[in-house]
Amino acid sequence: MSKPNLNQLTELEKLRHSTAHLLAAAVLELWPDTKITIGPPVDNGFYYDFEFKEAISDSDLPKIEKRMKKIVTEWKSFERREATAEEAKEFFKNNPYKIELIEEFSTSNEPITLYTSGNFTDLCRGGHVDEPNKKLKYFKLLSLAGAYWRGDENNPMLTRIYGTAFDSQEDLDEYLEMLEEAKKRDHKKLGKELGLFTFSDLVGSGLPLFTPKGTIIRDELENFVAKLNKEHNYEKVWIPHITKTDLYKTSGHWDKFSDDLFHVKGANDEFAIKPMNCPHHTQIFASEARSYKDLPVRFHETTTVYRDEKSGQLGGLTRVRCITQDDGHTFLMPSQIETEFDTLLTIQKKVLSAVGLDDYWISLSLRDPNNKDKYLGDDEVWEKAQTTMEQILKNKNIPYKAIEGEAAFYGPKMDLMAKDSIGREWQLSTIQLDFNMPKRFKLEYTAEDGTKQTPVMIHRAFMGSTERFMGVIIEHFAGAFPVWLSPVQIQIISVGSDHREFCNNLAQEFKNENIRAFVDNTDETVGKKIRNSAGQKIPYVLVIGDREMNSDNLSVRVRGQEELLEISKQDFIKKIKTQIRDKALDL
Note if 413 is an active site residue: yes
Instruction: Select which of 329, 424, 460, 529 is catalytic.
Output: 329
- Classify residue 44 as left (phi > 0), alpha (psi -120 to 50) or beta: left
How confident is the prediction along the chain (587 residues), in pLDDT tens digits per residue? 334 444 467 899 999 999 999 999 999 999 999 999 999 999 889 999 999 999 999 999 999 999 999 999 999 999 999 999 999 999 999 999 999 999 988 887 778 999 999 999 999 988 999 999 999 999 999 999 999 998 888 899 999 999 999 999 999 999 999 999 999 999 999 999 999 999 999 999 999 999 999 999 999 999 999 999 999 999 999 999 999 999 998 988 887 777 888 888 888 888 999 999 999 999 999 999 999 999 999 999 999 999 988 776 788 999 999 999 999 999 999 999 989 999 999 999 999 999 999 999 999 999 998 888 888 777 887 888 888 889 889 988 999 999 998 888 778 899 999 999 999 999 998 898 888 889 999 999 999 999 999 999 999 999 999 999 999 999 999 999 999 999 999 999 999 888 999 999 999 999 999 999 999 988 899 999 999 999 999 999 999 999 989 888 999 999 999 999 999 999 999 999 999 999 999 99
Is domain 197-239+280-475 annotated with CATH 3.30.300.10? no
Residue 41 to residues 51, 67, 529, 560: CA-CA distances in angstroms? Answer: 19, 20, 48, 40
Q: Report CA dihedral (89, 92, 96, 98) to the nearest 10 degrees.
A: -80
Say how far apart CA 325 and CA 303 lie, in whole Å.
Answer: 6
Q: Which of 218, 459, 476, 583 is catalytic?
A: 459
Decide yes or no: CATH 3.55.40.20 for domain 490-582. Answer: no
pLDDT number for residue 523: 86
What pLDDT is recorded for position 4? Answer: 41
The angle subtended at Cα 546 by Cα 545 and Cα 552, nearest 5°, is 95
User: What per-residue confidence (pLDDT) applies to 8?
Assistant: 61
Cis peptide before 296 (omega within 30 of 0): yes
Direct distance between the N- and C-terminal alpha carbons of the chain, in angstroms, rounded to an integer:
51
Cα(524)–Cα(530) distance, integer angstroms: 10
Residue tagged active-site, from 321, 413, 460, 537:
413
Phi, psi of 511, deg, nearest 5: -60, -35
Q: What are phi and psi of 407, to 5 degrees?
A: -65, 155
CATH (residue range 6-184): 3.30.980.10
d(CA 50, CA 104): 20
Name the residue type at position 497: S
How many other CB atoms are there within 10 angstroms of residue 118's CB atom? Answer: 18
Which one is catalytic: 21, 67, 160, 278? 278
Is-catalytic flag, 236? Answer: no
Catalytic residue status for 570 = no
pLDDT at 156: 94
From the number of C-beta atoms within 10 Å of its C-beta (0-12, 13-18, 19+), residue 305 rates as: middle
Q: Which of 135, 325, 491, 516 is catalytic?
A: 325
Helix and strand counts by DSSP (H, E) for the chain = 19, 28
| pLDDT value for 6 | 45
Q: Is 325 among the residues known to form the active site?
A: yes
Active site residue 476: no
Domain ranges of the chain: 6-184, 197-239+280-475, 240-276, 490-582
Q: DSSP letter at 74?
A: T
The active-site residue, picked from 298, 300, 307, 367, is: 307
Is 327 among the residues known to form the active site?
yes
Q: Is 307 tagged catalytic?
A: yes
pLDDT value at residue 5: 47
49, 326, 327, 415: the catalytic one is: 327
Residue 415 CA from chain centroid, whole number? 11
Pairing mode, strands 242-244 and 157-166: unpaired
